[in-house]
Every structure is written in structure tokens, then in C-alpha cells.
């Protein structure tokens, strides 16, 4: 006879929708959304700046980064994202916290501030719209907000090849349709 507690634990694990990448793991190969397509809508409340709409950043390269404060690879990647934030003109980072209470997210960023907005996806609607299956996940949009790059897993944002790929997106007509972002190896 099967142990009812084991069945309950397995059912709970099966219902959890996200995987978590590990530092040093390879990045997910297949993007969850088609590259060279328009990005899905994104309009969410932020920790400090009211509601933010992706459409307000038209004309900028945008990195949409899905994460959670409980995700260790996500936490490790935040420092690199902070350094990246000031390196490129006409560039924006939107960090989207997934499914956590605002007070927990606020406490985390009071202890470790970042120079970009933190969006709150409490009901996971944005996560679903962007088909995110693993945290962290990063989508890079060109200035016309066409999806150009995707990384399912932590990225080494300090690697010169990452900066080079981002710079190549400044002119959408000349931008690569896809590229590979360097994984964060620890």
C-alpha cells in the first residue's frame, strides 16, 4: 500500500511550475518564445516607481529578467546585472520578481539595492505570458522590442561577449536574430 504522505509530496512537487537553474549549468537551448517576434505586453507595479509599462521604453534595448529572491542562481546574477546597468546608453533592465510577497522582495533589495526597477509579478501573469519555465530567465529586446536573445539560466553579464551581443542590438536592422549569452560559471 502506498504511503499517502509520499503521494501528497509528489503531487505538490508536480504542481510547482518552475525549475531553478544552477550556477555553472548550461543555459536552456530553446527560447520559450519565438526570437525575432514582438515581445509580449508587460505592465506591472514596481517596488519604488509605481506601475511600469514596457511600451514606455520603446527605442531602448531592454533586458527583461525573471527571478525570485529565493533562487540562489538569481541572487548570484544580480551583482552582474547591477554592473551591466550603467555600461550601455539607451539600455534598460527590468527585473521581474515572480510570485513573492512584496514585503519579502522589499527586504531583499533594501539589503542589496540595484540601479534598475524591480517589477512585481505576484500572480505570475507575466511569467505565464512570457512562457517562463526556469529561473532565472532573461529576454533581450532590441529598440523596436523584438525578441533577440534568450537565456534560461544565469548569465555572466561581466563577460565581454555579453556586452558585445547587447551592443550589436542598437540598430535593429543589423542586429543578429539570435545569439548565445555566456553562462555564469562559479
Please indicate, yes or no, if residue 136 is contained in any of the structural domains: yes
pLDDT band at 1 (very low <50, low <70, confident <90, very high): very low
Q: What is the pLDDT of residues 96-112, one digit of tens each?
A: 999 999 999 999 999 99
Which range of residues forms the domain containing residue 108? 43-167
CATH number reported for the structural domain that contains residue 97 in this entry: 3.40.30.10
Please indicate, yes or no, if residue 19 is contained in any of the structural domains: no
Domain count, the chain: 1
pLDDT band at 23 (very low <50, low <70, confident <90, very high): very low
- Compute the CA torsion angle 140, 144, 145, 149 (nearest 10 deg): -30
pLDDT band at 25 (very low <50, low <70, confident <90, very high): very low
Please indicate, yes or no, if residue 177 is contained in any of the structural domains: no
Please indicate, yes or no, if residue 112 is contained in any of the structural domains: yes
Q: What is the pLDDT of residues 123-161, one digit of tens each?
A: 999 999 999 999 999 999 999 999 999 999 999 999 998
Please indicate, yes or no, if residue 31 is contained in any of the structural domains: no
Please indicate, yes or no, if residue 175 is contained in any of the structural domains: no
What is the pLDDT at residue 22? Answer: 42
What is the pLDDT at residue 109? Answer: 97
Average pLDDT of the residues in 24-43: 77
Buried b / exposed e over 4-27, threshold 16 CB at 10 Å, is eeeeeeeeeeeeeebebbebebeb
Per-residue pLDDT at 18 exceeds 80: no
Q: Round to whole Å and give the CA distance between 170 and 92.
A: 12
Percentage of the chain beyond pLDDT 90 is 63
What is the pLDDT at residue 183? Answer: 85
Contact 6, 103 (CB under 8 A): no
Please indicate, yes or no, if residue 74 is contained in any of the structural domains: yes
Per-residue pLDDT at 7 exceeds 60: no
- Compute the mean pLDDT over every residue in the chain, rounded to the nearest whole number: 83
What is the pLDDT at residue 52? Answer: 97
Please indicate, yes or no, if residue 176 is contained in any of the structural domains: no
Amino acid at each position: 500500500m502506498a504511503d499517502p504522505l509520499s503521494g501528497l509530496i509528489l503531487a505538490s512537487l508536480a504542481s510547482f511550475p518552475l525549475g531553478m537553474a544552477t550556477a555553472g549549468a548550461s543555459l536552456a537551448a530553446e527560447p520559450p518564445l519565438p526570437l525575432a517576434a514582438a515581445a509580449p505586453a508587460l505592465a506591472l507595479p514596481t517596488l519604488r516607481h509605481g506601475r511600469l509599462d514596457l511600451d514606455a521604453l520603446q527605442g531602448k534595448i531592454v533586458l527583461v529578467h525573471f527571478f525570485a529572491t529565493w533562487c540562489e542562481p538569481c541572487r548570484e546574477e544580480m551583482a552582474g546585472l547591477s554592473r551591466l546597468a550603467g555600461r550601455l546608453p539607451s539600455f534598460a533592465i527590468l527585473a521581474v520578481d515572480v510570485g513573492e510577497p512584496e514585503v519579502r522582495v522589499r527586504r531583499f533589495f533594501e539589503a542589496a539595492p540595484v540601479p534598475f526597477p524591480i517589477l512585481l509579478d505576484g500572480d505570475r501573469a507575466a511569467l505565464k505570458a512570457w512562457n517562463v519555465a526556469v529561473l532565472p530567465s532573461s529576454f533581450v529586446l532590441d529598440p523596436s522590442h523584438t525578441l533577440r536573445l534568450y537565456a534560461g539560466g544565469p548569465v555572466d553579464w561581466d563577460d565581454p561577449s555579453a556586452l558585445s551581443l547587447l551592443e550589436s542590438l542598437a540598430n535593429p536592422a543589423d542586429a543578429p536574430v539570435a545569439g548565445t549569452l555566456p553562462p555564469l560559471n562559479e
